[in-house]
Every structure is written in C-alpha cells, then in structure tokens.
Amino acid sequence: MQSRIYFVGTGPAMRPEWLIKEAWDVLNRVDKALIVDDAWLPGAIWPWASEREYVSEEEVLDRLVYLSSQDRKIAVMLAQSPSHHRAVSSWVNWAIDHNVMGSIVPGLWDMMAALDTNGFYVRGSLEVSSNTSGFFRFTGGKESFTPSQVWHLLPSGKWELDDGNSGTASILTIKTVDAVPRPHFWLAHLPLYQRKILLLHAGNATMKAGLRLQELGATIFWAPVSKIVGPEESAHIEHTLSHIERYDWVIFTSQEAVMRFFRALRRLNVDLRRLRAQIAVVGPQTAALVRDYGLYPALMPDRQFTQEGLAEALSPYALLGTNVLMPQGNLNRSYLQEYLRQQGALITPLTMYQNTAVPISSRIADMVERRMIDAVLYTASSSVEHLIEQHSHLLQSLQTIPAISIGSITSRTLRHYGIPVTAEPEHSSLDAMIDKLVDYFTEE
C-alpha cells in the first residue's frame, strides 16, 4: 500500500453536515486525520472510523514524514480552505519531492461557497458568525453585495424562502446574489440524515454496518455492552480438536465461533484435511466467513437464520448416532442442542469464548436517558439483557426510543422488558435491519 495525503478544508462551521461530499468521502477512506490548530471543534461529532489527532501547524510536517513512512492514508484538516493556508504549499512541495500522492479538497469559504455539489452556490466574499443558539449565519462581505433572496434552513432540515415577515428561527441563513433554485445540502438528501443511531456491538460485521449507516447519513454511536474473552479452560479445546476426524457434523451458530475454531486449529497445527465433517451454519454471514477459510458449508437455513431455522434445515437428515461438534460461546441458547439430542445425535458442545457484560460510557448513557438517540439496533438477545441489567435506570427511556430487532428471539427479550419492537426484518441480518430502519424513518 502506498501512502496518500489529502488536504481537506473544513469550511466555516467545522461540523460534518457542512463538508462537501468529496471531503466526507476522503475522511471515510483515510486511516488518520491530522486536525491543524482549530480546524475542528473538540466537542463536534466525529462520524468517521479514522483516528484523529490535534496538531499545531509546526508539527504537521514531522507527522507527515512519520505517517507516510508507514504507508498510511492521511487527511490534513484545515480551517476554511487549504488553498488559503500559508503552509500548504510547502507541505505539497514536500509530498511531490518524496513521491507521495494525494489531493486538495476545498472547504466552504471565501470567493465561492459550494453548499451543494448539485449546483447551489453563493458568489462573493462571505463572513460567518455564530448566534446565541450555536448556529451560523452567512452575510455578504462587500458593500456591493446586494442580496435578492434570503433562504432559511429550518431545524427540520427544510429550506424556506424569506418573505420578510416570517421571523423564522433558522439553523442557517443564506443571502444570494441572483435568483437560484431551492438550495440544499447534499447530506440532507440521505435517508438517515441527522439520525443518531446506537449500536450495542462492535464486531467486524457491525463495523461494516456502521459504515453503511454513515453512507446513509446517520451519526453512529458505538456502545458495546459486552466483550469477548477466551474460554476458562483451553485443555478441553485442545483435546477435542486433536480428534477432529471423529465428527460427522460441525455446526456454527456465530461468526465468533467460526473465527476462534479455525484459529485454534492453526495454533494446534491440526491438518484441516482431517476434518471430514459436513458443516452447517446459521446464516449467510457465518457461511461467508467459513468460505474465507477455504471450506464450503453443506447446510444453511433458507430463510429463518436462527437455531430454530437450522433445526428445521437439519430435520430431513438421519442424525441417529452421528457425532456433532458445536463450537460456541458461553451464552449460546440450548434449543439446537436439545433438538439434536432428541434426534439421537451425540453432541459435543465446545466453548470457544466467553461473552461478559461491560457498562456503556456515561456519555452514551446520558444521551439515552435524555432521549437524544433516534434508534437502537439490537443484534442479540444477550445485548438487551446486558444493557438492562447494568443500566436499569435507562429502561424507561429505552421504552420510548425506536427499537430495531434482528429477529424473533431478540424481539421476545425486548418485549419481556417492556420495550416495543419498532421493526424486525424477515431475514436476520444487519443489512436487513438497516433496510427496516430506512423504511421506518422514510415513512415517518
């Protein structure tokens, strides 16, 4: 991988919704964002996965030298627009001399403020000032600037043409030189714009879902309510996997079990060719992960990606006397094991990891209590239990916040705690949950 450097202007407001789309996309791609001096408000939301580091102008070049030597993708964030910054030319010259590629992404400032990539713009010098509400107001910066229209961006995200009598309290006021089409931000057209979504898990699959939610305009808050740790006893794992050839079926009901199972085989130098068992998985994401390790599942439910669905998929098979290995976590439900035992299978449950509860941060808890979250994505029944058991004082607030459930078991747990289920997808997957979330807010 070759290093890349992007010089990104943050515009006058230093908030995500003010960035042009090119800047937003860059910050989704880079590994590290160097924020120069006051180019981003410390308390402002940071909706990207990239790391951020506040640096002074004098520190930038040293950090670029170090980070580019590690083949990192870097964004240098500057107040206003990079083309107006006194040091940008020297940084660009250094990058050219050292064959480091990149680009300059302008901010919203000075001779042209590009509020939207679809064409709305304001010509002429601009000034920006903050009012008591913490919002920002643009006005003409030249005496010859004669506005012909005044537009207000309302708190609802809609624009309104000022008739001179409305006295509307607005987030943003734009005075234009010429009559122009109805203005809007590119971000405001995304279906989840300004929606604050809480995710209670931070695994790889959830991180991918978070990126998709951000692409749809949402602001993501991560609040893992549990953590994965190793099993209490590893000798049982070593003994079981050293006799892997004895099993007729290996059944995976979680992605975490897949990863830890194959890592353990590799750590113990167990030849994968000794695995003669057929593999059954609970759903498509688990199946994809098995394929990443070079094997192909023989069985997966057609539509109900749960233990119940997997039991139904296994029902045509003769299971009497078969040896079944079930790598799992300590909190796995017992439904599938009980079903297989009733069919006469010999079950070996293998605890590969433990799921232990952790409290969410006080900041996230405060946002939930004050109902500042627009929706919560519940991806497991255990997540519901961990959240409520550790933060029972939040239950009343959670009962009023839209709840998107991954499936029937999680929905049952939510209802047990009195939390209404806003939406539940037909298929148990994160992508299907996001589709339901979009449908809900679009209808709203």
The CATH fold of domain 196-225+358-443: Rossmann fold (3.40.50)
Note the pLDDT of residue 99.
84
The CATH fold of domain 228-356: Rossmann fold (3.40.50)
Least confident of 116-130, 312-326, 344-358: 116-130
Task: Name the residue with higher pLDDT: 147 or 133.
Answer: 147
CA–CA separation, 234 vs 242, rounded Å? 12
Taking residues 268-275, report their average pLDDT.
91
254: Cα within 13 Å, side-chain hemisphere: 23
In angstroms, what CA-CA distances link 10 with 43, 61, 128, 282, 304?
A: 15, 19, 13, 45, 46
Under the banding of pLDDT at 50, 70 and 90, the label for residue 243 is very high
Task: Name the residue with higher pLDDT: 132 or 172.
Answer: 172
pTM above 0.85, yes or no: no
Look at residue 402 and tell me whether its pLDDT is greater than 90.
yes
Note the pLDDT tens digit of each residue in 301-350: 987 888 999 999 999 999 999 999 999 988 888 899 999 999 999 999 99
Name the helix (H) or strand (E) containing 349: strand 346-357
Look at residue 117 and tell me whether its pLDDT is greater than 70.
no
Taking residues 250-261, report their average pLDDT.
93
Look at residue 127 and tell me whether its pLDDT is greater than 70.
no
Note the pLDDT of residue 143.
32
Tokens representing 421 are: 């289920």
Note the pLDDT of residue 37.
84
Note the pLDDT of residue 3.
87
Mean pLDDT of the chain: 80
Give the architecture-level CATH label for domain 4-105: 3-Layer(aba) Sandwich (3.40)
Long-range CB contacts (within 8 A, 24+) of 315-324:
319/343, 319/344, 319/345, 320/344, 320/345, 321/345, 321/346, 322/248, 322/249, 322/346, 323/246, 323/247, 323/248, 323/249, 323/348, 324/247, 324/248, 324/249, 324/250, 324/251, 324/348
In angstroms, what CA-CA distances link 387 with 99, 329, 377?
A: 50, 18, 12
Tokens representing 295 are: 């094997």
Note the pLDDT of residue 123.
38
Task: Name the residue with higher pLDDT: 40 or 401.
Answer: 401
Burial 205-241 (b: 16+ CB within 10 A, else e): bbeebbeebbebbbbbbbbbbbeeeebeeeeebeebb
Least confident of 69-73, 119-123, 185-189, 275-279: 119-123
Note the pLDDT of residue 186.
56
Note the pLDDT of residue 151.
62
Taking residues 107-116, report their average pLDDT.
39
Look at residue 134 and tell me whether its pLDDT is greater than 70.
no
Task: Name the residue with higher pLDDT: 96 or 388.
Answer: 388
Under the banding of pLDDT at 50, 70 and 90, the label for residue 118 is very low
Look at residue 93 and tell me whether its pLDDT is greater than 70.
yes
Look at residue 90 and tell me whether its pLDDT is greater than 80.
yes
Under the banding of pLDDT at 50, 70 and 90, the label for residue 354 is confident
What residue spans define the domains of the chain? 4-105, 112-188, 196-225+358-443, 228-356
Look at residue 358 and tell me whether its pLDDT is greater than 70.
yes
Note the pLDDT tens digit of each residue in 7-33: 988 865 566 766 777 788 888 889 999
Look at residue 435 and tell me whether its pLDDT is greater than 70.
yes
Note the pLDDT of residue 112.
35
Q: Chain centroid to CA 264: how far? A: 29
Do 4-105 and 196-225+358-443 fold alike per CATH? no
Q: What is the CA radius of gyration of the chain?
A: 27
Note the pLDDT tens digit of each residue in 138-178: 433 333 334 455 666 565 555 666 766 655 566 556 554 44
CA–CA separation, 199 vs 379, rounded Å? 8
